[in-house]
Chains A and B, each alone.
Chain A
Amino acid sequence: SQQGEEDPQALSIQEGENATMNCSYKTSINNLQWYRQNSGRGLVHLILIRSNEREKHSGRLRVTLDTSKKSSSLLITASRAADTASYFCATAPVSGTYKYIFGTGTRLKVLA
């Protein structure tokens, strides 16, 4: 499997519920970022968490990072129909270059 694997691949919830998405990666990282992509559009940056941080909040978003398990989770609280989108994690490996490694994404559908 590739660096930055999101789980689940697809998620369907009711408006007002919380949505949790997970990301696993393989190599040591400088930081991990989450992006949202509405259908047919480009990606929008949501939040960046550095390797020395464990948790970060932004509005209704909460991101955790566990470097020992090489995993991250994105929690969207009190979801809205407008949150319907695909969500991607992207890692910036320590070894690197300027490359960011994106996962294959979680498709979230929030039902009104």
Chain B
Amino acid sequence: DVKVTQSSRYLVKRTGEKVFLECVQDMDHENMFWYRQDPGLGLRLIYFSYDVKMKEKGDIPEGYSVSREKKERFSLILESASTNQTSMYLCASSFAARGSQPQHFGDGTRLSIL
């Protein structure tokens, strides 16, 4: 079974802190994604990566950056956390073929910024 592991289920940070969310997948997937999920807004794509060191902005990249130094690991970075970044963050991975493969999700990180 594919496993996508997010480093924390719950995280509490303070405004202005630099926050790292880590995601690891064990299926050698080329594509990895970071979403945030908010009530009534569904899933919104923050960033995705289709190869090591390659990344593309999603719909809401402002205030975030990402890092993919190894194929299995995709990190989301909140450069200076703000309260409006309190949310559920979901990582996903898939094989490469554009849009034709299902995504496999981690269990999410519920991040609170105080």
Contact = CB atoms under 8 A, between A and B. Distances in A.
Interface stretch (A55-63, A69-77, A101-109): A101-109
A88 B42 contact: yes
Given A31-B99, A98-B98, A42 B106 contact: yes
B48 A99 contact: yes
Given A92-B99, A98-B48, A105-B42, A42 B56 contact: no
Interface in B65-93: 90, 92
With most chain B CB atoms within 10 A of its CB, the pick from A92, A93, A102 is: A102
A2 B44 CA distance: 11
A84 interface: no
A33 interface: yes
Interface residues of A, number: 27
A81 interface: no
Interface residues of B, number: 26
B4 A103 contact: no
A98 B32 CA distance: 10
Given A30-B98, A31-B100, 16 more contacts: A40-B108, A42-B106, A42-B107, A43-B43, A43-B92, A44-B105, A48-B100, A50-B100, A88-B43, A92-B99, A97-B56, A98-B50, A98-B56, A98-B98, A104-B41, A105-B42
13 contacts: A2-B42, A31-B99, A31-B100, A42-B4, A42-B92, A42-B105, A43-B43, A43-B103, A50-B100, A97-B98, A99-B45, A104-B40, A104-B41
Interface of A: 2, 4, 30-31, 33, 35, 40-45, 48, 50, 88, 90, 92-93, 96-100, 102-105
